[in-house]
């Protein structure tokens, strides 16, 4: 790892003699902001279709900025090595880029945010890798400056013939996509990034586990200083309060819910069924303001995009509406795809509006989704039970541990609407989250200016 950083560090040292070099950044209080080196990544820091930044570490750092009383300025770098260089040379206050702790670098590290394991990923049906020796003659692609890169370099020392490829600007998401398409031989990454990649590329599989575990942490200048002390106190409070677990759940608590068969079926339905109904989902977004891909995810969970779907309980159609709900929404024919989609979207939006105004997103939408399955009466009852148990009824993280209690007699007796299968509502909502994430990566956002003219009310198959 040190050897990988030497060229970059040497160039920066030489550049220090040049008068054009930016001065070392001062204390965050004197600068008036916390400057953080990061990189674009599906987990830590990403930019959405609306241009807004989000991500596990992004949200955690915004909370840190609130605690410190300063805004956070994110400075993206092409890779982890250059983000770390920025800390070493004093151009930023810290780095947060899905970094594995590496004590051999001239840096200080925060406590771990989450634990990770590293793996080598290949394509299903490829040449088997039973031991390290089977990697001879193979080419492993990996991001430069990362712990997986260091582990792969160590394998190359032990196994002659192992080739290591460092792609330029190659984030894990891009590397795994290239691997799935046959452009790369093998990719070294961590289990969580593999899980994200396998959701849209089920042909990927782990072929070899790299030794050891690591903790993802924030990198600080050597010695740490006052900022390191403040970060330790902040992370300690975040752990104790459960806020760290809630933020983690928001971004990847649902990632491993779908198995390979579920993903493969969903991807085939995206190709075969979704095109027939995409315009109706676009119209539903225009009507409600809900992301059309989220509405489509709910519809898939309900019926697998089958407009003729019927349940033994009497719910029917693409959005599986009850007769009473359809009547209230003015849906004349539940088996008409367009009517069902527009009606179901309106119902989901109505449930969102019925929840308290101070309930934040995305928890608000997830609770509305559970209420789509349970009914708002049961959701209100579950929130009251959560408060009685000392849990946060505004947090989906807490509520998904409370909802399964609705089927137990000691809790069901408190509900005006009687017992409910709250566990099913949790599974439904978590599946919708997964389907929505996949659609977000594969389908474009709705753009009204480019949309087809609004369709007239009519029947669809």
Residue 98, domain CATH: 3.40.190.10
* Same domain as 227, residue 121: no
Whether 416 and 390 share a structural domain = yes
pLDDT recorded at residue 144: 82
Task: Report the distance separating Cα 344 and Cα 284, nearest Å.
Answer: 9
- Does residue 327 lie in a domain region? yes
Length of the chain: 461
Structural domain contains residue 144: yes
Q: Would 3 be classed as within a structural domain?
A: no
* Claim to verify: residue 124 and residue 104 sit in the same structural domain: no
Q: What is the CATH number of the domain that holds 395?
A: 1.10.530.10
Count CA within 13 A, CB hemisphere, residue 440: 15
- Tell whether 123 and 206 lie within a shared domain: yes
75 by DSSP, 3-state: which?
strand
Q: Which domain holds residue 231?
A: 34-111+218-253
The predicted-structure confidence for 369-418, as pLDDT tens digits, reads as follows 999 999 999 999 999 999 999 999 999 999 999 999 998 888 877 777 77
What are the tokens at 399? 């509520």
Q: Do 284 and 431 fall into the same domain?
A: yes
Directed axis angle between helix 172-180 and helix 191-198, to 10°? 50
Q: Is residue 145 part of a domain?
A: yes
Q: Classify 315 as helix, strand or coil.
A: coil
- Count the alpha carbons within 13 Å of 323 in the hemisphere toward its beta carbon: 3
Q: What is the mean pLDDT of residues 202-219?
A: 91
- Taking the chain, what is the end-to-end CA distance rounded to the nearest angstrom? 58
Say if residue 292 is in the same domain as residue 237: no
Percent of the chain, pLDDT > 70? 92
Active site amino acids: 302
Are residues 129 and 178 both part of a single domain?
Answer: yes
Split into its structural domains, the chain has a count of 3
In this structure, what token pair is assigned to residue 198? 């396998």
Would the pLDDT of 237 be above 50? Answer: yes
pLDDT at position 85 is 93
Whether 449 is covered by a domain: the verdict is no
Q: Are residues 334 and 376 in the same domain?
A: yes
The answer for residues whose C-beta is within 8 angstroms of residue 268's C-beta and 6 or more apart is none
Q: Is this structure's pTM higher than 0.75? A: yes
């Amino acid at each position: 790892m040190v050897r990988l950083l030497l060229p970059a560090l040497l160039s920066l040292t030489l550049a220090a003699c040049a008068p054009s070099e930016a001065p070392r950044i001062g204390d965050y209080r004197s600068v008036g902001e916390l400057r953080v080196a990061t990189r674009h990544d599906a987990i830590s820091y990403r930019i959405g279709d609306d241009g807004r930044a989000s991500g596990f570490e992004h949200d955690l750092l915004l909370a840190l900025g609130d605690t410190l009383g300063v805004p956070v300025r994110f400075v993206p770098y092409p890779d982890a090595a250059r983000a770390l260089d920025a800390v070493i040379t004093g151009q930023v206050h810290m780095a947060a880029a899905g970094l594995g702790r590496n004590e051999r670098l001239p840096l200080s590290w925060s406590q771990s945010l989450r634990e990770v394991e590293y793996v080598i990923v290949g394509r299903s049906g490829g040449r088997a890798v039973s031991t390290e020796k089977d990697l001879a003659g193979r080419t492993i692609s990996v991001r430069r400056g990362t712990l997986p890169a260091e582990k792969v370099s160590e394998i190359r020392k032990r196994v002659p013939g192992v080739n290591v490829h460092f792609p330029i600007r190659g984030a894990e998401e891009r590397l795994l996509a290239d691997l799935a398409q046959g452009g790369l031989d093998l990719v070294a990454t961590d289990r969580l990034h593999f899980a994200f990649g396998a959701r849209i590329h089920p042909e990927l599989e782990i072929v070899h586990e790299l030794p050891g575990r690591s903790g993802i942490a924030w990198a600080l200048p050597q010695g740490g200083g006052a900022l390191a002390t403040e970060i330790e106190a902040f992370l300690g409070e975040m752990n104790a309060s459960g806020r760290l677990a809630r933020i983690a759940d928001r971004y990847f608590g649902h990632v491993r819910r779908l198995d390979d068969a579920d993903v493969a079926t969903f991807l085939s339905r995206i190709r075969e069924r979704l095109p027939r109904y995409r315009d109706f989902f676009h119209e539903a977004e225009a009507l409600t303001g809900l992301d059309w891909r989220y509405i489509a995810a709910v519809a898939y969970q309900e019926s697998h995009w089958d407009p003729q779907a019927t349940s033994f309980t009497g719910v029917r159609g693409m959005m599986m509406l009850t007769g009473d709900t359809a009547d209230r929404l003015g849906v004349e024919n539940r088996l008409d795809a367009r009517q069902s989609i527009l009606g179901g979207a309106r119902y989901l939006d109505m449930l969102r509006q019925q929840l308290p105004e101070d309930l934040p997103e995305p928890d608000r939408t997830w609770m509305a989704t559970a209420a789509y399955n349970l009914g708002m009466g049961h959701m209100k009852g579950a929130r009251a039970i959560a408060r009685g148990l000392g849990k946060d009824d505004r947090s989906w993280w807490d509520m998904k541990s409370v909802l399964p209690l609705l089927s137990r007699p000691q809790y069901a007796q408190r509900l005006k609407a009687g017992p409910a299968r709250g566990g099913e509502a949790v599974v439904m909502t978590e599946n919708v989250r997964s389907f929505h994430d996949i659609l977000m990566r594969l389908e474009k956002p709705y753009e009204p200016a480019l949309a087809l003219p609004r369709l007239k009310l009519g029947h669809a198959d």
